[in-house]
Structure 1
Amino acid sequence: MSEPRVRPDPAFALLELYEEALPEVYGYLLSRCGSRAVAEELTSETFLGAVSACRATEAPPVSTGWLIGVARHKLVDHWRRREREERGLRLVRETETVDPWEGEIDALLAREVLAELGGHHRAALTLRYLDGLPVPEVARLLGRTVHATEALLVRAKAAFRTAYRGKEGCHD
């Protein structure tokens, strides 16, 4: 009679990768949310979520790239939570539809403006333009249709442009 085989816990692979992946996951999150406290919290959520996810049947192999994907989902969830909290407090105003990405922009000022946008605008712009994801992937991550995501991106760019121009005059 053969002895039953014990499957090794896939979380051990995650533990082996932890020290190498931690700075990359944290850096990814910090560069997108701009807050150390939020980046630290989301990094913690990422690794905790990864432990559960890697134990699921047919989970992908544990890698830094996979962890960045988990972090991206945690960041989107964070923005959604924050947007729900802010939604009742803010009136969304439609603005002109000229492309706000024309010309050069100040990176620090742009990051400041991005941080002040509503969560849904910030999420859409970050995923599309900082992460370089195609619109269908942004739509999937945000739980929207492609058409709704395209409309959101138009509104988000307009909101960004308006806020940027307002701050640009203050920083001259």
Structure 2
Amino acid sequence: MSSPQARPDPAFALLDLYDTALPQVYGYLLARCGDRTQAEELTSETFLAAVQSARKPGTGPIGVGWLIGIARHKLVDHWRRREREERGFRLVRDEPGVEDPWDVELDAIQARQVLESLGAHHRCALTLRYLDGLPVPEVAGVMGRTVHATEALLVRARVAFRRAWTGGCDD
């Protein structure tokens, strides 16, 4: 009877490639984001994601091009995060008809508190749909539900949010 053979960790291939690929990945990111600190952070995220991806079955050949592809995805994720944050700031800052900007900030704080007071499934659905801006079918996919079940959940979540926001008064 033969003993099982230990397979080497596929992520070790990255060690051989690291010295060659690091300046190229960092240069790619720095040229696109223009911020050294951000490029360093994204480079770090790229190599961490590469290790995780290399360990998945069916991963193709590991090379600099493959790492640049991962870096591209990390950069796009960064831009999306930044856009969501800026969009939220714009919405709060540019609220029409508000005389006192503190009112808008207090509303944002209250909205966060109300959202945190909801059940996890309501909070998750509302966050994915309205804060992350995902369409209902994508929310359903993330939550592992059907589209119709997700639509019903969103209706219930909006009602729960409104009820919590108004203190139980549905005017």
Output the TM-score relative to the length of structure 2. Answer: 0.52
Once the two structures are superposed, what CA deviation does each residue of 1:71-128 show, in whole Å capped at 9, x if it has no partner? 000000000110110002337xxxxxxxxxxxxxxxxxxxxxxxxxxxxxxxxxxxxx
Once the two structures are superposed, what CA deviation does each residue of 1:23-61 show, in whole Å capped at 9, x if it has no partner? 000000000000000000000000001000000011112
Q: Distance in 1 between the 2:61 and 2:8 partners?
A: 13
Unmatched 5+ stretches in structure 2? 92-133, 136-171
Q: Distance in 1 between the 2:84 and 2:50 partners?
A: 25
Q: For 1:118-137, what aligned pairs fall within 5 Å after superposition?
A: none
**Alignment-derived partner of residue 47 in structure 1:** 47
**Alignment-derived partner of residue 84 in structure 2:** 84
State the SS of the aligned residue for 2:89.
coil
Q: Structure 2 counterpart of 1:59, which letter? A: T
State the SS of the aligned residue for 1:45.
helix
RMSD: 1.7
**Alignment-derived partner of residue 62 in structure 2:** 62
**Alignment-derived partner of residue 27 in structure 1:** 27
Q: Distance in 1 between the 2:5 and 2:58 partners?
A: 18
Moved over 2 A (4+): 88-91
State the SS of the aligned residue for 2:80.
helix
| Percent of aligned positions that are identical | 71
Deviation at 1:2, TM superposition (A): 1.1
Once the two structures are superposed, what CA deviation does each residue of 1:3-30 show, in whole Å capped at 9, x if it has no partner? 2121110111001100000000000000
Structure number with bigger Rg: 2
Q: How many residues align?
A: 93
